[in-house]
Structure 1
Amino acid sequence: MTAAAGPVRIGLQLQPQHADYGALREAVAAAEEMGVDVLFTWDHFFPLNGDPDGKHFECWTVLAAWAEQTSRVEIGALVTCNSYRNPQLLADMARTIDHISAGRLILGLGAGWFERDYAEYGYPFGTAGSRLDDFAAALPLIEERLDKLNPPPTRHVPVLIGGGGEKKTLRLVARHADIWHSFEQGEALAHKLDVLREHCEREGRDVGDIEISVGVGGRGRDGRQPEAPEIEGAPLYDLGARLFSMGAGGPAYDIGFVQPWLDWRDAMNGG
Structure 2
Amino acid sequence: MSEQSSTRPSRPVRVGVQIQPQHADYAQIRRAVAAAEEAGVDVVMNWDHFFPLYGEPDGKHFECWTMLGAWAEATERVEIGALVSCNSYRNPDLLADMARTVDHMSDGRLILGIGAGWFERDYAEYGYEFGTAGRRIGDLGEALPRVEARWARLNPAPVRDIPVMVGGSGEKKTLPLVARHADIWHGFGDADELRRKAGVLDGYCRDIGRDPGEIERSAGSQEGPDAVGEALLEAGVTLLTIGTDGPDFDLGLVRDWLAFRDDHNA
Stretches of structure 1 that go unaligned for 5 or more consecutive residues are 218-225
| TM-score where L is the length of structure 1 | 0.95
- For residue 257 of structure 1, the aligned residue among 249, 253, 256 is 253
Distance 1:85 1:240 in 2: 32
Distance 1:72 1:208 in 2: 25
Q: By how many angstroms is 1:231 displaced?
A: 2.6
What is the root-mean-square deviation in Å for CA atoms of aligned residues?
0.9
Counterpart residue number, 1:193: 198
Counterpart residue number, 1:220: none
**Residues matched between the structures, number:** 261
Counterpart residue number, 1:55: 60
Distance 2:154 2:81 in 1: 20
Q: By how many angstroms is 1:253 displaced?
A: 1.2
SS in 2 for 1:40: strand
Counterpart residue number, 2:262: 266
Counterpart residue number, 1:160: 165
Deviates more, 1:250-259 or 1:160-169: 250-259
Stretches of structure 2 that go unaligned for 5 or more consecutive residues are none
Counterpart residue number, 2:116: 111
Aligned-residue identity in percent: 62
Contact residue 3 and residue 211 of structure 1 kept, 8 A: no
1:253 counterpart letter in structure 2: F
Counterpart residue number, 1:149: 154
Alignment partner of 1:233 is 2:238: no
2:143 counterpart letter in structure 1: A
Distance 2:38 2:61 in 1: 24
Alignment partner of 1:40 is 2:36: no
Contact residue 9 and residue 238 of structure 2 kept, 8 A: no
Alignment partner of 1:248 is 2:248: no
Counterpart residue number, 1:221: none
1:190 counterpart letter in structure 2: R
Distance 1:38 1:181 in 2: 13
Contact residue 137 and residue 173 of structure 2 kept, 8 A: yes
SS in 2 for 1:117: helix
Contact residue 115 and residue 125 of structure 1 kept, 8 A: yes
Distance 1:162 1:156 in 2: 19
Q: By how many angstroms is 1:194 displaced?
A: 1.1
Q: By how many angstroms is 1:191 displaced?
A: 1.1
Q: By how many angstroms is 1:186 displaced?
A: 2.5
Counterpart residue number, 1:91: 96
Distance 1:148 1:214 in 2: 32
Contact residue 183 and residue 216 of structure 1 kept, 8 A: no
Counterpart residue number, 1:208: 213
- For residue 121 of structure 1, the aligned residue among 108, 120, 126 is 126
Distance 1:51 1:94 in 2: 30
